[in-house]
A and B are shown apart, each in its own frame.
Chain A
Amino acid sequence: MTYQIHPLGDQGLCISWGNTIDIQINHLALALAEHLQQLQLPGVLDLIPAYSSLGVLFDARRLLREFPHQQPYDYMCKRVELEIQKIVEVDFSKGRSVEIPVCYDPSLAPDLERIARQSKLDTTEIIHLHSSHTYRVYMLGFLPGFPYMGTVDDRLVTPRLASPRQSVPAGSVGIAGSQTGIYPLDAPGGWNLIGRTPLRLFDPNRAEPALLRPGDQVQFTPISLSTFQKNSAAP
């Protein structure tokens, strides 16, 4: 598959397979990230897989010290291109399956009614459409542990709010365009909110702070307001 590599200044590079949301391309980006992670290349600080790209941040100070005769970006480009050749077969079965309980009660879903009106469906149909589908976690970003998942049924596609909310409560499940996501923390945001999960998407005290990983398969399960309240983390 064709790709381009661009520098992120003297701090890193970004490998891009086009400007698209595509499962196969995303799989390739994740596979390369995992492969490079296992190699533990000297000087690599961070690997940031996204929808159709992989960011590689490097420690230029260290590369200048350890490889004084090579320009760090050129060195890292060559190294990465060598490894891209090795990713010939991508294992599609790798993502974990994760079930996320969601309460779609109107008190926790300020935008549900509007989406239903716009698509000329009733709210139970919207809830059914959102929870009867398995979503892929394409990437984490925006906030610590925030999963960008997709893609939702065409009838649920809704643009971001023109004016973002000052504060969205942690656990809120939202829709932006054809993507669905979950706010791991209280934060400002412009996604359309259709429910809330009692699960903690991000907890700094856990060994693995983020609940989800890129590549996971997520299934939402509707729960009642009383179940939500029972399972909701103490404030």
Chain B
Amino acid sequence: MSLQILKPGLLDTIQDEGRYGYSHLGINHSGAMDRVGLAIANYLVGNSAEEAVLEIHFPAPEIRLDTPVLLALAGANFSAEVDGVSLPLHTPVLLQAGVSIKFQKKLSGTRCYLAVGGGFVLEHWLGSCSTNLATGAGGWKGRALRAGDVLALRQNTFGAQLGSDEKMRCLPWSANVSDFYPANQPIRFCPGPEYAWLDAESKSNLEKTDWQITAQSNRMGYRLKGAGLQQQHTTELVSSAVTPGTIQLLPNGQPIILMTDSQTTGGYPRIGQVIQADLPQLAQLGAGQSFPLQAVSLDTAFAALQEQTQLLRRLQTGCTLKLSAMLSTQH
């Protein structure tokens, strides 16, 4: 029961919800950049949200299955194909042993999540299966996937659903994800501990600028380009806690937004913190794209998180009901 990497992509890693409780040792969270994409891919195949999945960037890998699986893709649309036939996004799909998955073209988004029903067989490191690239630990051998890697899958019985000459069958439902990734919305943030260090004009520029994501952006952080921001203080800051979503002001007057592989402490002013509900949307933006930032209150941040959590719960319930109905009628 396995999945083989025929050709590796730009950066294919195993990720789950991340590794917590070790930040005091300098060990970062890792985990899926887009937690909503992670949850949706998992729910569609009947997994719980925290099951480890494959996070794929473009150029994407070529993958072969040596066993029948129930599979789902969520997040970025890289126009996936199974032996030349289009593999739809956000839809549970039964696939026969022996088929190959290719990704032809980057249509939208930056990170695609591939989940298999039952999940991968992996060892936990410090309570998580996420790949920690800095230490070379966790996930699959602590590194990005390479050609020839064979990832073991947990036992499943989905093969019984497929006819012997049936290569692929899309189940007759898909997730509506438009509420999770609203188009052309600003990325919302709450003012950070050193927000007051900005002068009045910079505070206003922070929200008036269309911030462009530069090419020096990755899973550790997004370096932004836009209006120069000025500090009123020139005091050196001693290092203190940061976390994914922290917006730091670099000495050159440009901000950086820390992402899930970021370090755990930093010495640059923390001018803001992107709200959790908007991190998935940000994770799906890539180099060259731009967005405005909008300051919101903590109450707004928690309300947005609550709403997103409820939408995900509803999606999970729907997926569970449909999957169990299908499995019971077919047997």
Residues of B1-34 at the interface with A, using a CB-CB cut-off of 8 Å, are: 20-28
Chain A residues near B26 (CB-CB < 8 A): 140-146, 184, 210
B27, A209: Cβ atoms under 8 Å?
yes
B189, A16: Cβ atoms under 8 Å?
no
Residues of A11-33 at the interface with B, using a CB-CB cut-off of 8 Å, are: 11-12, 14, 16, 19-21, 33
The interface-forming segment of B145-153, B163-171, B295-303 is: B295-303
Please give the distance in Å from B326's CB to the nearest CB on chain A: 29
Chain A residues near B135 (CB-CB < 8 A): 144, 185, 202, 204, 209
B25, A9: Cβ atoms under 8 Å?
no
Chain B residues near A51 (CB-CB < 8 A): 238-240
Chain B residues near A104 (CB-CB < 8 A): none
Residue of B132, B137, B142, B240 with most chain A CB atoms under a 10 A cut-off: B240
B241 touches A (CB below 8 Å)? yes
Task: State A21–B241 Cα separation when bound (angstroms).
Answer: 15
Task: State A209–B264 Cα separation when bound (angstroms).
Answer: 16
B25, A49: Cβ atoms under 8 Å?
no
Q: Chain B: how many interface residues by the 8 Å CB criterion?
A: 50
Which single member of B263, B266, B270 contacts A143 (CB below 8 Å)? Answer: B263
B192 touches A (CB below 8 Å)? yes
Task: State A205–B27 Cα separation when bound (angstroms).
Answer: 14
The interface-forming segment of A56-64, A78-86, A90-98 is: A56-64
Complex: chain B residue closest to A51, CB-CB: B238
Task: State A214–B305 Cα separation when bound (angstroms).
Answer: 33
B265 touches A (CB below 8 Å)? yes
Given contacts A8-B193, A10-B275, A185-B134, contact A142 B265 (CB under 8 A): yes
Q: Which B residues are closer than 8 A to A by beta carbons?
A: 20-28, 125-126, 132, 134-138, 142, 189-190, 192-193, 235, 237-246, 263-266, 270, 272-276, 298-299, 301-302, 305-306, 309
Closest 3 CB pairs of A and B: A55-B241, A9-B273, A141-B265
